[in-house]
Structure formats: C-alpha cells, structure tokens
Amino acid sequence: MFGQKQVPRPEPDPDAPPGAEAAQVAEAPPPVAPLARPHASEGGEVLVRSDLFRVIRNGVFAAMNASAAVGKTREQMKPGVEQLVLDVAERERLNITLAEQGQIVGELLNDMFGLGPIEPLLADDTITDVLVNGPDQVWVERHGRLELTNCKFRDNTHVTNVAQRIAAGVGRRVDESSPMVDARLADGSRVNVVLPPLAIHGASISIRKFSKRNITLHRMSQQGNMSGAMATVLKLASTCRLNVIVSGGTGSGKTTLLNALSHFIGHGERTVTIEDAAELQLVQPHVVSLETRPENAEGLGAVTQRDLVRNALRMRPDRIILGETRGSEAFDVLQAMNTGHDGSMTTIHANTPRDGITRLESMVMMANGNLPLLSIRRQIASAVHMIVQIERMRDGMRRVTRITELVGMEGEVIITQDLFTFRYDASAYSEEVKGVFETGAVRPAFAARAAYYGLEDALLEAMRP
Ligand SMILES: Nc1ncnc2c1ncn2[C@@H]1O[C@H](COP(=O)(O)OP(=O)(O)OP(=O)(O)O)[C@@H](O)[C@H]1O
Ligand SMILES: [Mg+2]
C-alpha cells in the first residue's frame, strides 16, 4: 500500500518561490490518481508545467547527491539521471512512456547543464533570435518572422535562474541591484537580460544567435536580398576602400552585410574591429578585434567604443570597422575616415540614408557640442562615401533598399545620389512583397577612385541598366 510506503520528503526546490514548498507537499496528488500530463498536441515543451514533470523532478533532485554533478559532463550524468527518473516513476507508480522518459531526462539535463527549456531552440539552426518574455512567452525569429513557441518556463524564478546562469557565464551578476546585463553565450550568441521590476511581466531574455552560416554578397544576391549588379558595386566599393555606412533597423541584417563587405578587404591590410560583443567574422589574416567592457560593480573600469576608436588610431590601422555607431564615437569615426583610414565601415540605426546622416549629425553634436552644424556636415560629406540601406520587410525577406553615395555639399546641404533603389510594386497588396531593384541613371561618384584601382570598367558595366 502506498500509504505505508516510506516516501522521502522532497528537498526544498531551489527554484521555488518562498512558501511553495509547503504548498507542494500539501497539494501533492495521490500518485495512483492520473496526473495531469501534457496533451500530445501541446508538444513536449509544456511538459515542464505538468504535474507529472514536477513530481518526477522533485523526486530526482531529492534523491540526487548535490555534489554528484560537479565536474561531470552532460553525457556522463545522463545514465544516472535516466535511472533516477525510472526509479522515481516506479516508486510513485507513474506510468511514463519511453518518449516521455526521454523528454523528462532531456529537460532535467537542460536544467542542470544548459539554459533550461530554451536549449532546443538554441540548437535549432533555422532560428536566429530567441526572445523570452517572462515564463509564459517564448518567441523565436525564423526566416525573418517572429513566431510564438509553446516553450514555457516553470515560473518566474526559473527564468531568472537561467538569466543568472547566462550572466555568470561571462563573469557578471544580474540581480535586483544590477537588473540589466549584456552577455554572451559560449557559442558567441549575444544576450541581453532585464529582470523585474524593470521588466514588468517577468524576466526578459533576448538572444541574437551567432550565425554559423557565412552569408556572402554573392549569396545575398542569389537569395534576392539585392540584385547581382548591386552585389558587384558593393564588392567594388569595399575593394576600392570606400568609407561605407550600413544603415537599417533592428535585426535588419546590418552586421551580416557589414561582415559580407569585409570579405573584400585585402589580405595585406591591417584591420581593427571594434564591437560591444564580437559578432564580425573577418576572414583576413591581419585583424585585431577589440571589444568594449562595461563598468564593474563599483562603477569603474568601463572601456567605451569611443575609447577603443581613439586607441585604434594609434595602432596603425589601414581600416577601422566599428560594429555600430550609436554615440559619441561617431565624432572619432568621422575623424578616422577623414584622416587616411579609407575603407572604414560601420553600421547605424536609421530608416533611410538621409535619416542616417541626420543621426550622425546629432551624435557628433552630442559628442562635441561646440562644433557648428555646417562644419559637422562638411566632415560627414567628405568622410562618408556610401550609405547602404537594408530593411527587413513584412515578408520576412531582407532587402537592400538603397545604395546611396554622398557626393558633396551644395550650400549647407549634403548632396546624395542613389546608385540603386528597391521600388515596391504597390499593386501587390498581400503578404508577399513585390518590387524590383532599379539602377539609377547616374555615373557613380567613385568611378574616378575605381579607375585608380583599375576597376572603372567593371563598375560602369555593373551600373549599366
Ligand atoms: N541576408 C540574410 N539572409 C538570411 N539571414 C540573414 C540575412 N541577414 C541577416 N540574417 C539573419 O538575421 C539575424 C539578424 O541579422 P544581423 O545581426 O545582421 O542584424 P542587425 O541589423 O545587425 O541587428 P541588430 O540591430 O540587432 O544589431 C541574424 O541571425 C542573421 O543570421
Ligand atoms: Mg548588428
């Protein structure tokens, strides 16, 4: 009889909120009664919320020697956990299928060694972003579109624990006193964490997965991100050492495009890259990669992008690549572009090339309040040769919507010309985006520079409509 059986009292759940322990004991259902288990149609992800999982998990963790896992790998622990799951199921008289057993063991191991329920999403190569909004909502981006998954965490504390594990992985803390942290996963994925009370509906974890695929300009033209002619012109722009800014919204593919442009940097050129979290994957042999550092718990020791750009100028770089310009470093980047570091590149958050220019102006103004606007404009006009606008469209496709050259000043205005534009087909009103990449009827301002590199003919050929 079950009632006479010695059931070990479950250890307090380290993840459970205060008071939950008593509640668990009190509400523990009679094991002979069927336990609520996930419905087959709900998928394995809701397993973590089921009573079945809760009972087995408590039983396994109670029976496990806490120090047993120290220094062990996931694979080493797996047989032991499998056995414990079987033991607990037998003791509690739970009939679990082989599939359920496998899922339960996987979830337990994910909890012990990985990032809990989102672990399978991280392993899925078709997913580019994983966005956790508290315990109930996990969104992913796949093929440029957001999807709600049925992945769930047990509760708020579970999300916070995973967030803390991520932060601890890069030697940082995330708690009430420092509730926002940028971190990186072991595979290079970029992570941002915001904890309650700043995140009102539970801890938020945003993961931009590190792309294993190397997306080249050629590939981008093949998959319709731009036309073949655009890819050629961008390749020439990079080879001819133009100063290029990639402009676009969040997740529009700026970093990916910047990375693709960097492939045409000569192998004899010394390149310094500066980023908050190293995402660029340069293929050249001569690259120095620098990464910023946030301040420590005492508020000291921060190294900003601006510090690194200034330092980079003393490193004899041929080119400087700044992952994203978003503050006072704009001033120094323009200086660098204007002082013999041609071929420098960066990205900026803006919706059009014009907006990009305006953003640059205001960033420089904020960095250097006493510079008159006109002289800032002159600096931008002579420093920046090209702005490439990229957009993630509603069909999930990323497209280069504009390749714009800065050709000089007229009075107080920066003059630009569009080499290419993407023209929407307004009649196509549906999920699908239709349109064409058009070549502007202009002579590229960098034709003379291309001639210097012996590439003028190739450029004019690519610009032929
Ligand atoms: N042309 C493309 N084809 C397929 N996937 C792409 C393409 N461009 C970008 N992606 C994917 O989209 C995701 C976002 O791209 P990326 O990091 O380049 O965007 P971003 O504009 O730099 O974003 P953020 O504003 O967050 O810095 C990445 O996971 C990347 O692999
Ligand atoms: Mg980026």
Q: Which two tokens stand for residue 211?
A: 């792309």
- Relative to the CA of 324, which ligand 1 atom is closest? 27
Question: pLDDT at position 30, please?
Answer: 42
Fold of 217-462: Rossmann fold (3.40.50)
- Amino acid, single-letter form, for residue 305: Q
Question: pLDDT at position 40, please?
Answer: 44
Burial call 81-90: b when 16+ CB within 10 Å, e when fewer: bbebbeebbe
Are residues 377 and 358 in contact, defined by beta-carbon separation less than 8 angstroms? no
Question: pLDDT at position 31, please?
Answer: 43
Question: CB burial class (10 A; 0-12, 13-18, 19+) of residue 461?
Answer: exposed
Closest CA to 245 of 381, 355, 348: 348
Ligand 1 in reach of 216 Cβ (< 6 A): no
Ligand 1 in reach of 250 Cβ (< 6 A): yes
Question: pLDDT at position 2, please?
Answer: 39
If you classify domain 119-208 with CATH, what class do you get?
Answer: alpha beta
Ligand 1 in reach of 389 Cβ (< 6 A): no
- Amino acid, single-letter form, for residue 301: G
Closest CA to 346 of 295, 393, 312: 312
d(CA 267, ligand 1 centre) in Å: 25
Q: pLDDT 10s digit of each residue in the chain, 465 long? A: 333 444 344 444 444 444 433 333 344 444 444 555 554 444 445 677 888 888 888 888 888 776 777 778 888 888 889 999 999 888 888 888 888 889 899 888 888 888 888 989 999 999 999 999 999 999 999 988 899 998 888 889 889 989 998 888 888 888 888 899 888 888 889 999 999 989 988 999 999 998 877 899 999 999 999 999 999 999 999 999 999 999 999 999 999 999 999 999 999 999 999 998 888 989 999 999 999 988 877 788 899 999 999 999 999 999 999 999 999 999 999 999 998 888 999 999 999 999 999 999 999 999 888 899 999 999 999 999 999 999 999 888 999 999 999 999 999 999 999 999 999 887 766 677 889 999 999 999 999 999 999 999 999 999 998
**Closest ligand by atom to 391 CA:** 1
Domain ranges of the chain: 2-113, 119-208, 217-462
Question: pLDDT at position 60, please?
Answer: 86
Question: pLDDT at position 11, please?
Answer: 40
Residues whose Cβ atom is located within 5 A of ion ligand 2: 254-255
d(CA 76, ligand 2 centre) in Å: 37
Question: pLDDT at position 25, please?
Answer: 37
Question: pLDDT at position 38, please?
Answer: 52
Question: pLDDT at position 340, please?
Answer: 80
d(CA 144, ligand 1 centre) in Å: 9
d(CA 253, ligand 1 centre) in Å: 3
Question: pLDDT at position 358, please?
Answer: 96
Question: pLDDT at position 93, please?
Answer: 87
119-208 and 217-462 agree in CATH topology: no
